[in-house]
Structure 1
Amino acid sequence: MTRQTLIVTGTDTGIGKTVFAAALAGALGGHYWKPVQAGIEDDGTDADRVARLSGLPRERVLPEAYCLVTPCSPHLAAEIDGVAIDPARLALPQVESPLVAEGAGGVLVPISRSETYADQFARWGAPVVLVARTSLGTINHSLLSIEALRARSVPILGVAFVGEPVEDSEATICAMGQVRRLGRLPVIDPLTPEALRSAFAANFKLEDFTA
């Protein structure tokens, strides 16, 4: 798999992974895909949010393979909704421009009773951007996530932090995990497409994601 596809995953849920994925997909002028959506918020799905924030044409925000109603881990959401997740439907879409594929929650979130997202990432074979918060607990969560990915031979492009700057935590994760620090997306308020685009451009180098 070439750099045509990038996987965005996180160390936990609710850390800003979808906002980062929207910024990255928009900066690349690519496509966005979240294969499994579990739970629908009042403002819609993660794909709806990416469509609003990324600046991409709506047709470049691809439909989910599974859109589950229950807001919990995909393996349980599928069981509650009476759906069997077929791995064949999780094959990466073939698109002309770069594809940003987003997982759900952390790397070891179960897709089924026998497989996690990390197992699916290994099957895809594309490089992963690990999104990590900067707040307390992030060193443990990040290093465990890095170990889980490496145990499955998943290539790690680097870590993208989200939140207020915490230099020691960010440096420690990248040094001990032997991963590249890609940058840090600050807290953006109000969160608008323009503000997100400017923040990404100011804090990340696009060539790190394309070289």
Structure 2
Amino acid sequence: MNKKYKAIFFDWDGTAVTSRTAPVEDAVVAMKPLLQQGTKLVIVSGTTYDKIVGGKFHTYFTEEEQKNLFFGLGRGAYNYHITDGRPEIFASMIPDQEGLLKIHDICYAIHTKLLREYGLKTDIVFSRPNYCKIDLMVENDRGDQLFMQGDEVEHLRQILKQHGIESGLKELIGIAEQTGEEFGQRVSATCDAKYLEVGISCKSDNVDVFL
């Protein structure tokens, strides 16, 4: 007998689709029967809604199906349901300008610390709504494959070891959290190998909202 789940949470890039430009029809076909039987489907992703089929993904589903379709996006920043045929944010975690600038200061301090104390060069993406992405592998370009690649974790381990960060990701995240404390800010730090993401929330916060 098939088990009926109340809700299914899943990632988008690299899980439901191979890339942001890949066809979505197979995912839609798999999702429709679940939505029709009342199973809540929650896409949890670091991306924003406009990056999922140009912000039109909900149009692949009927109004009844849309009632069971939800999105937790932007690494904890935005939570959507579909109302009157349109995506609507019902909960968010967005700092004011001063709060966002503090996150920027923290991430620049992490960048400075990694360069000064470990000789590790990084780049920073400042344009996210409540976090920054610190590029740990600046020579490695993912192209349109924005999700973690198979060999990246081991590659990062080697890079960190070469720069004296012996405990790998755990030590790196500890550096980020300690830097946040120095600014009087508790930060959420995660790493997908190429990027150390530091901000006030993460994908688990999206999940908590829906639960």
TM range (shorter): 0.3 to 0.5
- Greater relative CO, 1 or 2 (CA 8 Å, sep 6+): 1
Asked which structure has the greater CA Rg, the reply is 2
